[in-house]
Structure 1
Amino acid sequence: MGPFGRTRPSLARHGLLAVLVTAALAASGISSAARAADADLVRNGGFEAGLDGWTCTSATTVKSPVRSGASALRATPSGSDNARCTQTVTVRPDSQYTLSGHVRGSYVYLGATGTGTTDVSAWTQSALDWQQLTTTFRTGPTTTRVTLHTHGWYGTGAYLADDVSLTGPGADTGVPPAPPTGLRTGSVTSTSVALSWSPVAGATGYAVYRDGTRVRTATGTSVTVTGLTPDTAYAFQVAAVNDAGESAKSATVTATTASGTGGGSADLPPHALVGYLHASFANGSGYTRLADVPDSWDVIDLAFGEPTSVESGDIRFDRCPAAQCPNVESDADFKAAVKAKQAAGKKVLISIGGQNGQVRLTTTAARDTFVSSVSKIIDEYGLDGLDIDFEGHSLSLNADDTDFKNPKTPVIVHLVQALKTLKAKYGDDFVLTMAPETFFVQLGYQYYGTGKWGGQDPRAGAYLPVIHALRDDLTLLHVQDYNSGPVMGLDNQYHSMGGADFHIAMTDMLLTGFPVAGDANNVFPPLRPDQVAIGMPATANAGNGHVPPAEVTKTLDCLTKKTNCGAYATHGTWPALRGLMTWSINWDRFGGWEFQRTFDGYFG
């Protein structure tokens, strides 16, 4: 994704890091007097209020057997779901905590992530009766929130948990906010319901509940709940959140989804946030676990699947080794996180290529190997589809290839055939996205085909025949509007990175269409606005061309409302513009989630 994107990963396999610490409290030197002031920070640790405070998959509460009180958690892992329950709590930095809980069942785990030091877990292979699991950790110097979890193991049967507690210094968090008012429904489709509500003073975010289960969070006062079943009635509530905790839930509103089959691009929210997650390597942005990606991200591209050699077509996805990413999750936890994101209506894709992953499908054998190897990755991890991020010399044109509607260059023809084969194999639900650089797309306005334009770089505009051939199958195109030199817009003026005008001009070309290589008889047709997201770097570290939030807002205002425009005059107004893409989720986390907060603030 550019010179700041990544470093080449080692091929060493990662290991499972399981840390059981039983003597940390004594070693810490914390006195018994100090411990006496500690509090239990877990909300509803005995599950007496159902799953309130917990986010779970495949779980419910039962009245028997229980360890104490009237209820306990019962969760049932399956072949693709370890029945994970999580709760995020507010803690003090640089403080000692003890996590404890009672469990029954086989291979039951209790742990904490995001500690800022070493994430911990305790587990039991077999507990026929209630068994206490205990582990301790110390928070990092800036850690204020930690996520607790309990889960079982795939296909091993139901497990029980009760009396979960986290004891340690409580944060000075004040009081929870008041419950939201004014909850109402907006647009309803076969697979989604739009919700909005009135802001609550003192709230830092909101939790959205569907039929009593917390399904996502929001920083603004609107959200679209996706992944719903057609022709089905749902009940929704919202709670306000701050560091002191969560408010009572709002009044309930109901909505019934429309009839239809759903799936595919229609299953995305009206405005989507797309981000790349460094899954196979580490760099200065740090490793982020898939389960820790905030709910704001609607499409998560796993970076990267790479070829074993440039022309083999054989794509492999090697997750980041523990030597580079000490906090990397196990394969089982990674696959469970994929399922959890999908259950929340998110799309998780494998991204092929990147800065170091050059792929050239020069032969039919390479094409077929590409299809089979990519299918293996999608099937192994249960992914929703594929992102093509071919850079470098992966795509280029032969000298006589001047008609983008009828390409002749083998690497382009074979790629189109491979992607159509994958789409046919997985059907309408298959999500296909592309992330070309401006060089491969908008530069086709000036230069397309080396024969016609006297030796210009044969990569100029080389994505155009691929995009055009797949426009009916393409879910999203998010051109990288960064790491780019000046590019001529439809006003015949050069536009440079660094402000809203560049993004406006580049996006206007996609939504208006343009003559290829200046040929008025050879026009690249416009894409639908719901197919287009604007690619931007999350931070200045992530790539050349970063713009501050105010310029992002100007870009969106101009394209969706035709207000706040600058020097460039657009050829239309597109309120259905799908959204934003960024390199990357990791860099945005490094930058304090500025890009995510800008998107949430604008679209909700």
Structure 2
Amino acid sequence: MPRRRTRSRLLASLCAAVLLGSGLAAAGHPAQAADVELARNGGFETGLDSWTCTADSGSTVASPVHSGTSALKATPAGNDNAKCSQTVTVKPDSQYTLSSWVQGSYVYLGASGTGTTDVSTWTPSASSWQQLSTTFKTGSNTTSVTIYHHGWYGTAAYYADDISLTGPGGDPGESQPPAVPGGLTAGTVTSSTVDLSWDQVSGATGYNIYQNGAKVRAVTGTSATVTGLASATSYTFQVTATNANGESAKSESVTATTTGGGGGSGDLPTHALVGYLHASFANGSGYTRMADVPASWDIINLAFGEPTSVSSGDIRFKLCPQSECPNVESEADFKAAIKAKQAAGKKVLISIGGQNGQVQLSSTAARDAFVSSVSKIIDEYGLDGLDIDFEGHSLSLNTGDTDFRNPTTPVVVNLISALKSLKAKYGEKFVLTMAPETFFVQLGYQYYGSGPHGGQDSRCGVYLPVIHAMRDALTLLHVQNYNSGPILGLDNQHHTMGSADFPIAMQDMLLTGFPVAGDQSKVFAPLRPDQVAIGLPASQNAGNGHIGPAEVNKALDCLTKGTNCGSYQTHGTWPAMRGLMTWSINWDRYSNWEFSKNFDSYFGG
């Protein structure tokens, strides 16, 4: 696969922003007799009331605090700088002083919408509480300003307390909170997410979302996706409208029930080992008979079903010819061995694609041929389901296909349709897995549909529409954490293969979710932990990106226990993460079963 250039945030950009901020700091002016305190809940004693933090980056903490019992903690992540703000009513042509106490690195305090010169001040490092202060004058028609804090990309959390804005009070006639939002409806529902929308309220500057009575999000638009929900569970939602004068009463409620999750994962072990078996070809690893696959392997993907031509959609599977694999078993013995594996609780799937199996379902005829031919393979061998291992240019995005939630490119739309047809045909026990490469998934965090090659690569993040559309039917996503260039993680740092750091950062993105191409309105929702496995080569012979057992265990420790994470800080801990996938069973046998023995040892067999 082609090499990819990396892009990193230039230090000069940070320096430029810092210099701009520092030039705007000024000493506060003495309060006048008519001055009043205008910031609401500046000490965060009532949580985040009156404050809106981007990307759910803010929370309140009991320590450290400057005064009282609470303070703000806000954590930048990826392309979000953890901006927390509120809009305040002011008088035109008036002088105001803004101040706050802060801790952390690169903490900014500012005001926008002043009608004159918007101001900000900052500190590069405050190991203990430090006061920031600046002043501004409002314009001749200014009646409201937005005050805010934010941090910097890729830095640690910052803290703020006792935020104050003093000056002449606003017009008492403008002191009413907005009306109650109407038209709250629930849209698309998955096993872990609910889409909500509501009517715009005149005079509102933001909206709060309540889940079962508790506030869970603050947004500025009139729609949002609530994530992190349990499958097959009923939730009640309400919204309120906010502005500089307060919060409205809660709207009428709407109830939505998440789907059951599905994906044929109910009878898999809590932690599963997935491997590819070279069934149709031989290479340096040698041929392994189905009956000789050890009991360690819970899902066995037959590699590969391949198309008769790139655009036919007609998939065929044949055992390795005896001339190439002298020890190949007979068809009858192969089928009997599959049944024996299934009787022992194992799953056997047909994997479509691979490095040489390019499949382009560019027409409905190709889509229908795909469904028909894959069904024939599943039925003939009595298989449990399907693994999608499309590589090369099997999937790409047309110009203008910019929303992964509503794809328009035929090869993507037809693949989704085909997978839904197969799921409908075989029902709840149908096992569906996917093994995309990192730039098909995680690179969508930076790019979507136009890659880092000057817009020539339309494959960046191209699996995201397929994963999103099939997430309720998806048993496992095991992204290939190998054969990859550097990928930007949620810490805004590039991560490269060769240590536990790479799979830790890549899995954190899948389990946390991320804005696609940096667009906060198009967030790829996190997958359930039981839908995620780490994909790695079984040995150094199997491909780039191999890491030894010690590094594999560090990645498992970090993601399932929260320990051994190194310098990367994950956004959670997921004990139920499903396990490991490897290329391949054959290469693991070649290496004396090092990969599978380590898996059994780690998870207790």
Matched, 1:343 2:337: no
What code does the residue aligned with 2:371 have?
A: V
1:554 is matched with: 554
Q: State the Cα distance separating 1:583 from its structure 2 match.
A: 0.0
2:570 is matched with: 570
What code does the residue aligned with 1:564 have?
A: N
Matched, 1:327 2:327: yes
- Report if the CA contact (8 A) 1:2-1:355 is conserved: no
Question: Per-residue CA shift, 1:187-215, capped at 9, x if unaligned?
Answer: xxxxxxxxxxxxxxxxxxxxxxxxxxxxx
Q: Give me the whole-angstrom Cα distance separating, in 2, the residues matched to 1:465 and 1:542.
A: 29
- Report if the CA contact (8 A) 1:497-1:545 is conserved: yes
2:165 is matched with: none
What code does the residue aligned with 2:582 have?
A: T
Question: Per-residue CA shift, 1:437-475, capped at 9, x if unaligned?
Answer: 001000000110239995151000000000000000000
Structure 1 residues 590 and 439, CA gap change in structure 2 (3 angstroms): same
Q: Give me the whole-angstrom Cα distance separating, in 1, the residues matched to 2:464 and 2:281.
A: 30
1:426 is matched with: 426
What code does the residue aligned with 2:300 have?
A: I
Structure 1 residues 598 and 484, CA gap change in structure 2 (3 angstroms): same
1:493 is matched with: 493
Q: State the Cα distance separating 1:542 from its structure 2 match.
A: 0.3
What is the alpha-carbon root mean square deviation over aligned residues?
Answer: 1.8
- Report if the CA contact (8 A) 1:447-1:453 is conserved: no
1:232 is matched with: none
- Report if the CA contact (8 A) 2:271-2:577 is conserved: yes
Q: State the Cα distance separating 1:263 from its structure 2 match.
A: 8.9
What code does the residue aligned with 1:323 have?
A: S
Question: Per-residue CA shift, 1:74-131, capped at 9, x if unaligned?
Answer: xxxxxxxxxxxxxxxxxxxxxxxxxxxxxxxxxxxxxxxxxxxxxxxxxxxxxxxxxx
1:413 is matched with: 413
Q: Give me the whole-angstrom Cα distance separating, in 1, the residues matched to 2:372 and 2:2.
A: 28
2:437 is matched with: 437
- Report if the CA contact (8 A) 1:348-1:384 is conserved: yes
What code does the residue aligned with 1:522 have?
A: K
Structure 1 residues 319 and 356, CA gap change in structure 2 (3 angstroms): same
Structure 1 residues 404 and 343, CA gap change in structure 2 (3 angstroms): same
Structure 1 residues 373 and 555, CA gap change in structure 2 (3 angstroms): same
Question: Per-residue CA shift, 1:378-417, capped at 9, x if unaligned?
Answer: 0000000000000000000011001000000000000000
Q: Give me the whole-angstrom Cα distance separating, in 1, the residues matched to 2:586 and 2:452.
A: 42
Q: Give me the whole-angstrom Cα distance separating, in 2, the residues matched to 1:394 and 1:508.
A: 27
Long gaps (5+) in structure 1: 4-259
| Percent identity between the two aligned chains | 80
What code does the residue aligned with 1:549 have?
A: P
- What SS does the aligned partner of 1:327 have? coil
Residue pairs, 1:49-128, within 5 angstroms = none
- Report if the CA contact (8 A) 1:279-1:303 is conserved: yes
1:472 is matched with: 472
1:312 is matched with: 312
Runs of 4 or more, structure 1, over 3 Å off, are: 451-454
Q: Give me the whole-angstrom Cα distance separating, in 2, the residues matched to 1:451 and 1:303.
A: 29
Matched, 1:377 2:377: yes
TM-score under structure 2 normalisation?
0.56
Residue pairs, 1:109-188, within 5 angstroms = none
- What SS does the aligned partner of 1:337 have? helix
Structure 1 residues 514 and 315, CA gap change in structure 2 (3 angstroms): same
Structure 1 residues 538 and 453, CA gap change in structure 2 (3 angstroms): closer
- Report if the CA contact (8 A) 2:263-2:472 is conserved: no
Matched, 1:527 2:531: no
Q: State the Cα distance separating 1:521 from its structure 2 match.
A: 1.2
Q: Give me the whole-angstrom Cα distance separating, in 1, the residues matched to 2:451 and 2:601.
A: 48
Q: Give me the whole-angstrom Cα distance separating, in 2, the residues matched to 1:396 and 1:529.
A: 27
What code does the residue aligned with 2:481 have?
A: D
Matched, 1:352 2:355: no
Q: Give me the whole-angstrom Cα distance separating, in 2, the residues matched to 1:410 and 1:451.
A: 19
1:580 is matched with: 580
- Report if the CA contact (8 A) 2:388-2:433 is conserved: yes
- What SS does the aligned partner of 1:371 have? helix
Q: Give me the whole-angstrom Cα distance separating, in 1, the residues matched to 2:442 and 2:553.
A: 22
- Report if the CA contact (8 A) 1:557-1:565 is conserved: yes
- What SS does the aligned partner of 1:515 have? strand
Q: Give me the whole-angstrom Cα distance separating, in 1, the residues matched to 2:452 and 2:426.
A: 39
1:149 is matched with: none
What code does the residue aligned with 2:324 have?
A: Q
Question: Per-residue CA shift, 1:258-315, capped at 9, x if unaligned?
Answer: xx9x992111000000000000000000000000000010000000000000000000
1:545 is matched with: 545
- What SS does the aligned partner of 1:523 have? strand
- What SS does the aligned partner of 2:349 have? strand
1:402 is matched with: 402
What code does the residue aligned with 1:387 have?
A: D
What code does the residue aligned with 2:290 have?
A: L
What code does the residue aligned with 1:528 have?
A: R
Structure with bigger gyration radius: 2
Q: State the Cα distance separating 1:344 from its structure 2 match.
A: 0.1
Question: Per-residue CA shift, 1:352-377, capped at 9, x if unaligned?
Answer: 00000000000000000000000000
1:361 is matched with: 361
2:92 is matched with: none
Question: Per-residue CA shift, 1:38-90, capped at 9, x if unaligned?
Answer: xxxxxxxxxxxxxxxxxxxxxxxxxxxxxxxxxxxxxxxxxxxxxxxxxxxxx
Residue pairs, 1:508-523, within 5 angstroms = 508-523=508-523
- What SS does the aligned partner of 1:264 have? coil
1:224 is matched with: none
- What SS does the aligned partner of 2:329 have? coil
- What SS does the aligned partner of 1:534 have? strand
- What SS does the aligned partner of 2:355 have? coil
2:386 is matched with: 386
- What SS does the aligned partner of 1:351 have? strand
Residue pairs, 1:135-284, within 5 angstroms = 264-284=264-284
Q: Give me the whole-angstrom Cα distance separating, in 1, the residues matched to 2:550 and 2:454.
A: 41
Structure 1 residues 328 and 499, CA gap change in structure 2 (3 angstroms): same
What code does the residue aligned with 2:529 have?
A: P
1:65 is matched with: none
- What SS does the aligned partner of 2:521 have? coil
- What SS does the aligned partner of 2:340 have? helix
- Report if the CA contact (8 A) 2:263-2:432 is conserved: no
Question: Per-residue CA shift, 1:569-603, capped at 9, x if unaligned?
Answer: 10000000000000000000000100001100111
1:601 is matched with: 601
1:459 is matched with: 459
- Report if the CA contact (8 A) 1:2-1:483 is conserved: no
- What SS does the aligned partner of 1:376 have? helix
Q: Give me the whole-angstrom Cα distance separating, in 1, the residues matched to 2:603 and 2:414.
A: 38
Structure 1 residues 549 and 592, CA gap change in structure 2 (3 angstroms): same
Aligned length: 347
- Report if the CA contact (8 A) 1:416-1:470 is conserved: yes
2:15 is matched with: none
Q: Give me the whole-angstrom Cα distance separating, in 1, the residues matched to 2:441 and 2:585.
A: 24
- What SS does the aligned partner of 2:266 have? helix
- What SS does the aligned partner of 2:306 have? strand
- Report if the CA contact (8 A) 2:451-2:460 is conserved: no
Long gaps (5+) in structure 2: 4-259
- Report if the CA contact (8 A) 2:451-2:458 is conserved: no
Q: Give me the whole-angstrom Cα distance separating, in 1, the residues matched to 2:597 and 2:450.
A: 43
2:150 is matched with: none
Q: Give me the whole-angstrom Cα distance separating, in 1, the residues matched to 2:592 and 2:357.
A: 29
- Report if the CA contact (8 A) 2:451-2:457 is conserved: no
TM-score under structure 1 normalisation?
0.56
Question: Per-residue CA shift, 1:540-591, capped at 9, x if unaligned?
Answer: 0101000010000000000000001111110000000000000000000000
- What SS does the aligned partner of 1:274 have? strand
